[in-house]
Chain A
């Protein structure tokens, strides 16, 4: 489903991704690991079509996430490393998502509930005024409600308390069938029974890629 062909991405003279080649297919749950600055986020952003690579290309179901972003992004759920300071209220954010991506608001509420986040009590609050963990819970709920074939998470559990982490992994377990699940993590032990493939990156390269 996702094909990364010879991607190189530089920032000035710094090479963040060097000639990366990999492929992610249906029914794979991949843990993407590596030291800080290894290039994990850069790889994910290239897959999302945010970066114009210096060389190579990404294809998702045969389409370019840059040139055919609308077609491609219909199939992807994404949670970024840091929840951004969005000024819209929760209600408005849900409207944005339900109109643009055809996501059922009730389903967002359902998953938020599963994550122990009470949306109805916060509907008129600005997103950026939620606590760090609440933001992540909401973004996770949205990502699940979108029901995409490809789910990409960049360290989604950084701000979650242990209880919320368990809820999150339980929900993922229920939702990983027939999908590609790619997530960046620094805690392998937490995701051990969720993933069936581990990729390590260092200095912009993939140093190991194992399947189980």
Chain B
């Protein structure tokens, strides 16, 4: 156990010093600052107001950019250390591969999760200070969603990093996965839907295998279902399962997906040469 903590702790320290971490924190902190400057909390649009509107906008943007951030910064973690012969030296000490791999994941998880959650906490504190009501249910839901989202994409990134050879390929795969989840699945499903040969329940099921889609729907799941911003998919789902079931699913499933990818990544890491 002490080795696991040691590796997580040192990876965390190393990441915090890195330039990408600074950019990363500035982006999410800046986003919140921007919302306040733009007066998002004061305006009243379509029934959303105050902090809940700000948090919704924040998570909608985060759903798009967090995955690519995590993928790009993490996709080379293991393979990069292998190629630069860092593994060769660091693993010449009595540390099991399990402790090394999972320690790295835990360290990285804290690095990517803290800034996004911290930005949200600041928003809530600043909002409360300005006299806005705090939508606690939304805040806790988003805390969970961000947790699950970080886990999913970190798992995928570590999986890729366990086998990919060159930086270019790693980045290529990262971009592909991001674009694929962000848009391609939807486009493909919409065209399927238009042909009207496939059952709509099936299409919605497929679209929800995509963790990004689940996050999108979950982000608005606590709002009034009468609202027009809610797409047909969200409407359909919230109509067919209860809200609490869906919320649990939207956190549990992506979390499991991330763990599964991380686990397969570990299996590959264990089987491959370390240098």
Interface set of A (CB-CB < 8 Å, partner B):
45, 48, 50-52, 69-74, 76, 78, 80, 82-88, 92, 95-97, 99-101, 139
Q: Does B243 interact with chain A (Cβ within 8 Å)?
A: no
Chain B's closest residue to A48 (CB) is B92
Q: Are B94 and A69 in contact (CB under 8 A)?
A: yes
Decide: A87 and B14 in contact? CB cutoff 8 A. yes
Provide the residues of chain B in CB contact with A80, threshold 8 Å. Answer: 85, 88-89, 92
* B10 on interface, CB distance cutoff 8 Å: yes
Bound-state CA distance A87–B21 (Å) is 15
Q: Does B228 contact A (CB under 8 A)?
A: no
User: B residues within 8 A CB of A82?
Assistant: 85
Query: Given contacts A52-B271, A86-B86, A96-B7, could you give 6 more A-B pairs where the C-beta distance is less than 8 Å?
Result: A86-B90, A87-B17, A88-B10, A95-B6, A96-B10, A99-B2
Task: Name the residue of chain B whose CB is nearest to the CB of A92.
Answer: B10
- A residues in contact with B89, CB < 8 Å: 78, 80, 83-84, 86, 139
The chain B residue sitting closest to A86, CB to CB, is: B86
Measured between beta carbons, the chain A residues less than 8 angstroms from B92 are 48, 73, 76, 78, 80
CA distance A119 to B13 in the complex (A): 20
Bound CA–CA A97/B207 (angstroms): 48
Contacts of B2 in A (CB 8 A): 99
What residue of chain A has the Cβ atom nearest to residue B272's Cβ?
A: A52
B3 and A99 contacting across the interface, CB-CB below 8 Å: yes
Q: List 29 A-B contacts (CB under 8 A).
A: A48-B92, A50-B274, A51-B273, A51-B275, A69-B91, A69-B94, A70-B94, A70-B96, A72-B94, A73-B95, A74-B94, A78-B92, A84-B84, A84-B90, A85-B84, A85-B86, A86-B86, A86-B89, A86-B90, A88-B10, A92-B13, A92-B14, A95-B6, A96-B90, A99-B2, A100-B6, A100-B93, A100-B94, A101-B93
C-alpha spacing A82/B85, complex, angstroms: 8
Taking CB atoms, residues of chain B closer than 8 Å to A87 are 14, 17-18
In the complex, which residues of chain B have a beta carbon less than 8 angstroms from the beta carbon of A73?
Answer: 92-95
- Chain B residues near A69 (CB-CB < 8 A): 91, 94, 96-97
Bound: A50/B90 CA distance, A: 12
Inter-chain CA distance A74–B94, complex, in Å, is 5
**In the bound complex, what is the Cα–Cα distance between A100 and B85 (angstroms)?**
19
Closest to A50 in B: B274
Chain B: minimal CB distance from A91 (Å): 10
Partner of A84, one of B18, B85, B96, B274: B85
Q: How far is the CB of A148 from chain B (nearest CB, A)?
A: 10
Interface residues of B in 219-275 (CB under 8 A from A): 271-275
List of A residues within 8 angstroms of B93 by Cβ: 73, 96-97, 100-101
CB neighbours (8 Å) of A52 from chain B are: 271-273
- Whether the pair A96, B6 counts as a contact (CB closer than 8 A) is yes
With the chains together, A96 CA to B7 CA distance in Å?
Answer: 8
Contacting pair B94 A50 (CB below 8 A): no
**Which of B94, B272, B275 has most chain A Cβ within 10 Å?**
B94
Could you say which residues of chain A place their CB within 8 Å of the CB of B88? 45, 50, 80, 84
Q: Write out the residue numbers on chain A whose beta carbons fall within 8 Å of the beta carbon of B86.
A: 84-86
Instruction: Name B95's closest neighbour in chain A (CB-CB).
Output: A100
Q: Which residue of A is nearest B5, CB measured? A: A99
A48 vs B93: C-alpha distance when bound (angstroms): 10
Q: How many whole Å from A2's CB to the nearest CB in chain B?
A: 15
The smallest C-beta distance from A149 to any residue of chain B, in angstroms, reads: 13
| Shortest Cβ distance from A45 into B: residue | B275
Interface centre among B6, B17, B89, B93 (most CB of A within 10 A): B93
Q: How far is the CA of A71 from the CA of B93 in the complex (A)?
A: 10
Tell me whether A88 and B14 are in contact in the complex, defined as CB-CB below 8 angstroms, given that A45-B275, A51-B273, A99-B2 are known contacts.
yes
Most B-side CB within 10 Å, residue of A84, A92, A101: A84
CB distance from A7 to the nearest CB of B (A): 14
Complex CA distance for A100 and B93, rounded to whole angstroms? 7
